[in-house]
Structure 1
Amino acid sequence: DLVKFTKSPIPASLLQLDSNELNKLALEGFISIMKYMGDYSIAKDQSEIDSVYTILMNCHNYEVLRDETYCQIMKQTTNNKSSRPDSCQRGWILFSIMAAYFSCSEVLEPYLFKYLEAAAHDKRRAYHGTAMVCLQNLRKTLRYGGRKNMPSIEEIAAITAGRNSKRQMYRLPGGTERVINTQSTSIVQDVIEEICGLIDVRSEEEIGEYSLYCIVEGDTFTTPLAREEYILDVTTALQKNQQVYYLIFCRSVWHYPLRLDNALYIEIVFNQVAPDYLEGLLLVMPGEQISQDCVYDIAKVAALLHRAADFDHMPTMKETKYLLPKPALSVRDIKPPQWVNLVQSSWKEVEHFKPFQAKVEVLEVLEKWPLFGSSFFAVRRDADPAERSESILALNRNGVHFLDVITHETLIHYSYFEVISTRKVKSEEGHLFLDMKCGKNLMLQRVKRIQTDQAHEISRLIRQYI
């Protein structure tokens, strides 16, 4: 009888608990289970949402109550002889909710799995479908540790009403938005894989080149979310603090070649590359001059950018200014009217292109530039007093590059084979540093220290490339 359905509240916890307080909470939890299943009357000022909230809150605050709650739900779904026809069904729904949020102990795990597998794989049982959902939820919860934050009342109300997913907005580079049904159990990796599916990126290795960033309004810097992090843990915490946030999908590592046959892929990569190009970060200018080949590329890309914006008239002088990389406007040997003439000459080659074709052409031109596919960071490095300490750090598939701030020539380069380790250090004044241990062998190792507020993101990207 201890492990079978009962119509009455239990007099003591099913498992041995350490204190009277925990025992009291266990009994309160059992009554909440009975209320949700319809086997115990609910006060007029309460609802089934309150019952679920009580169960989840107790399990969130007291880990030891998780096994107890699982045992209680197993009891109430075993040989259920309730007068309420939907009692057992609601018990299994509660089971699936519990399994979506909390793991169990290693001691209970084999028994819990055996119970769920027996119910899920026996199609003669009325609730085998819900039992299968419980099984899937529990496997995922045990793999990723379960939810870290208490779900919001809105989320509990939704899952109590049988709505297992939330319409969550995700942004793509360029401002395009995608709504993805996000479940209580959805982790960052799930969302990355779903968006990658839309752009025909299927292999595990290539999917690994994409990240999901959370940008919070007012924060200067951002880092990608950990792949095993629960999406609704992130959003619930931000909403609780009334923070405005955006979840943005983008490419963070650039080993794989471009895919030029998928419109959404082109849109994402183009809108990610274009801002860095116009800022001038991709442009290398030895001696603060632009090579003739590069001048031709810049003029062509300017014309293509104009067409990519769906303009069908020749770029004017005023428009040309915004189609060129910023440093190009300040070079000594090419004046603004010359740039206009060059861009307008290139326009004749591209004016018949469709905007999509123009974006593809931009990427094909820039892909040949040495800094294409780089992530850029402003850093200060410990340098010879005679040298300028400010640098731009560029990370790309060819390694770690310290660039001159003005010309973007590579001052120091390390391949990823030479990067032995990275370590984040904080000074007493609160400055953040990154120590990079580099060297081709044990005898030629040295530590390169850089000061940067983005030490965490640089370290993470280096690890991702390695």
Structure 2
Amino acid sequence: MRPNSSLRAWRLLTIITAYFPSSLTLKPYILQYLGDNADDWQRPYHGTARICQTNMIQTFKYGGRKVLLNALEVQQITDGSQLRRQAFFISREHSVNQTLRPIAVVEEMIQELCSLLNVRSLHEQQEFSLCYTVGKGGSFETCIFEWSLILEKRLNYCKNDSYLMDIITECEHKKLPFQFHLKRTVWVHPLRYDNAAYIDSMFDQLIDDYLRGSLISTNSLGQLTAATTEEIIKLAAYLFLLLPNDNAKRLTARKIRVYGVTQDTSSNCTQKCHRTQASTPGRDGDAYQSTTENVRWSNVFPKLRELLSTWPLFGVLHYRLKSVVENGNQLPEVILTINKSGIQLLQPKSREVFKQRNYDQVLMTIESVESIRKTAYRIVRLVINTPEGEEALDIKTDEADEISHLIGQYMFVTGGVEDRDRGSSTEL
């Protein structure tokens, strides 16, 4: 027998235990054997035995990895390297390199990243999700002036029980550049100001939502009110204060109007360019001067956060749907909103509430794919408990993954679902 045969066998076992659980009959014997070898420091390969034991316990808990290892990962494990460094963005400009084990799951990484933001409460950590984008990112200045480019990059939400190395390996198989992002997707706990990294993370996310227009509300005529217009002008001025001095000096009243007042409100919801009731270049320029006067750069961040968090659409997500079917009956065109209060279907123009359901009424969410004339449509089915009986809503949308993830997460965080794992609540 070759001198390193036993070592290679143990390292092969680390791969097997990361992918395949044993039968329930064999489980106690395998764990006992691995534990005996791992606990005895005098035995050879006790460190590798500990890895096998940890892998097996994780596999029984999460089901084992699904994506086959690539050649590089196999070589690294064969050479005795079990760890990998991976960057995770907690804000637009700030990433942290975390150590990954082959069996690390999304839920564990969310907890680690939240700790860096001083989010210690497990209940508050459940408001965060790990996402990844495919493609290269841009700078803060690029996103300020060419904010529409952000919309082209779709966020892929990771299930809590997914293995991180499965996601990484799949992207590497397809030769796709990718980035991981920590994102707050549920807004129940209030914003805090006790950690610089947390402040930066929340600021970047709020600005993204603002630039998409998802925080801007209008009246019944689709117009901005005078108060909202004034606040948008203030926000535009504050954002320009964050840019380099050369860009801020070139600020004009017309730029304020174009940048602050005529932003596109959520591409999922309304058409481009709001109309304003009373807005002129001179008035906008005066508002900019009064807003920025005696404002220090360091005070811009708190002012932006405080202003945005008071808007009625703060924490509300909007989705334009292809169709909604209720118990087999086609509903008129509606917009779906998701927030901490529940699920609402709104009339597109008047924004009147057509139907509203609380999370404690939702029994389950089921995601499926429907093919019609060789075209695949993704559908989210909501089974809802009402006084009249069970109600089934079939929602056809391009954002099925995101909608089912967010509804399942809100159900978990708000207590609408008991003894249900958030990661598995949106599985097929």
Instruction: Provide the residue aligned with 2:279 in structure 1.
Output: 334
Q: Distance in 1 between matches of 2:355 and 2:278?
A: 28
Structure 1 residue 395 corresponds to structure 2 residue 313: no
The change in CA–CA distance for 1:275 and 1:222 in structure 2 (over 3 A counts) is closer
Match of 2:238 among 284, 304, 319: 304
CA distance in 2, matches of 1:362, 1:310: 18
Q: Hey, what's the Cα distance between the residues in 2 that align with 1:448 and 1:128?
A: 54
Quote the offset at 1:147 in angstroms.
1.8
Match of 2:109 in 1: 191
> Which protein is richer in strand relative to its size?
2
Deviation at 1:225, TM superposition (A): 1.5
Tell me if the contact between 1:281 and 1:408 (Cα under 8 Å) persists in the aligned partners: no
Q: In structure 2, what is the equivalent of residue 201 of structure 1?
A: 119
Superposition pairs of residues 19-58 of structure 1, within 5 angstroms: 39=2
Deviation string 1:116-146 (CA, Å, 9 cap, x unpaired) is: 2222223443543333233222211222222
- For structure 1, the residue ranges without an aligned partner over 5 or more in a row are 1-6, 8-38, 40-83
Instruction: Note the aligned Cα RMSD (angstroms).
Output: 3.2
The residue type paired with residue 333 of structure 1 is A
Query: Is the alpha carbon distance of 1:393 and 1:176 closer, same or farther for their aligned partners in structure 2, counting shifts above 3 Å?
Result: farther
Tell me the CA shift for residue 152 of structure 1.
0.9
Summarize the Cα distance change of 1:298–1:437 in structure 2 as closer, same or farther, 3 Å threshold: same
User: Which residue number in structure 1 is paired with residue 60 of structure 2?
Assistant: 142
Q: Which amino acid aligns with 1:232?
A: M
* Letter of the 1:397 counterpart: K
Pair 1:421–1:98, CA change in 2 (3 A): closer
5 Å-filtered alignment, 1:235-314, equals 235-286=168-219, 287-309=221-243, 311=245, 313=248
- Are 1:128 and 2:71 an aligned pair? no
Cross-structure match for 1:171: 89
- 2:316 pairs with 349, 374, 380, which one? 374
2:324 is the alignment partner of 1:414: no
Alignment of 1:428 with 2:372, yes or no, is yes
Matched, 1:359 2:301: yes
Match of 1:20 in 2: none
Q: What residue is the counterpart of 1:36 in the other structure?
A: none
Aligned residue type for 1:276: D
2:388 is matched with: 443
TM-score (norm 2): 0.76
Using the alignment, how far apart are the partners of 1:159 and 1:90 within structure 2?
Answer: 9
Paired with 1:97 and 1:428, the residues of 2 have a C-alpha distance of 41
Output the CA distance in 2 between the equivalents of 1:359 and 1:263.
11
The answer for the alignment partner of 1:15 in structure 2 is: none
CA displacement at 1:389 relative to structure 2: 5.1
AA aligned opposite 1:428? I
Distance 2:52 2:367 in 1: 41
Task: Give yes or no for the alignment of 1:181 onto 2:126.
Answer: no
User: 1:333, CA displacement in angstroms?
Assistant: 1.9
Amino acid at match of 1:297: E
Q: Which gives a bigger RCO, structure 1 or 2 (Cα 8 Å, sep 6+)?
A: 2
Q: CA deviation at 1:154?
A: 0.5
Q: Give the superposition deviation at 1:298.
A: 2.4
For 2:38, the aligned partner's letter is A
**One-letter amino acid of the counterpart of residue 372, structure 2:** E
Identify unmatched segments of 5+ residues in structure 2: 137-151, 265-272, 326-330, 412-428
Q: Partner of 2:146 in structure 1?
A: none
State how far apart, in whole Å, the 1-side matches of 2:262 and 2:361 are: 32
1:460 aligns with 2:405: yes
Cα distance change of structure 1 residues 359 and 393 upon mapping to structure 2, 3 Å threshold: farther
Per the TM alignment, residue 242 of structure 1 is displaced from its structure 2 partner at its CA by 2.5
Once residues 367 and 392 of structure 1 are traced to their aligned partners in structure 2, the CA distance between those partners, rounded to angstroms, is: 22
Q: Within 2, Cα distance between the matches of 1:213 and 1:271?
A: 15
With over 3 angstroms needed to count, the CA separation of the structure-2 counterparts of 1:419 and 1:308, relative to structure 1, is farther
In structure 1, what is the Cα distance between the partners aligned to 2:312 and 2:80?
53
2:157–2:405 CA contact under 8 A, matched in 1: no
C-alpha separation in 2, matches of 1:308 and 1:415:
40
Look up the equivalent residue of 2:233 and give its one-letter code: A
Question: Contact 2:106–2:158 (CA<8 Å) still a contact in 1?
Answer: yes
Q: Taking every aligned residue pair, what percent have the same amino acid on both sides?
A: 30
Whole-angstrom CA distance in 1 between matches of 2:72 and 2:214: 44
Secondary structure in 1 aligned to 2:114? helix
Query: The residue matched to 2:312 in structure 1 has which SS?
Result: coil
Asked whether the equivalents of residues 306 and 323 of structure 1 are also in contact (C-alpha less than 8 Å), the reply is no
Equivalent in the alignment of 1:111: 29
Equivalent-residue separation in structure 2 for 1:408 and 1:325 (angstroms): 20
Displacement, 1:405?
A: 4.8
Q: What's the secondary structure of 2:110's corresponding residue?
A: helix
* Residue identity opposite 1:144 in structure 2: Y
Counterpart amino acid of residue 257 in structure 1: P
* Displacement after TM superposition at 1:114 (Å): 1.4
What secondary structure is seen at the aligned counterpart in 1 of 2:176? coil
2:241 and 2:162 map into 1 onto residues whose CA distance is 40
CA distance in 1 between partners of 2:90 and 2:310 (Å): 24
Match status 1:316 vs 2:258: no
SS in 2 for 1:284: coil
The answer to whether the Cα contact below 8 Å between 1:437 and 1:447 also exists between their aligned partners in 2 is yes
Mean CA deviation greater in 361-370 or 418-427: 418-427
CA separation in 2, counterparts of 1:234 and 1:289? Answer: 43
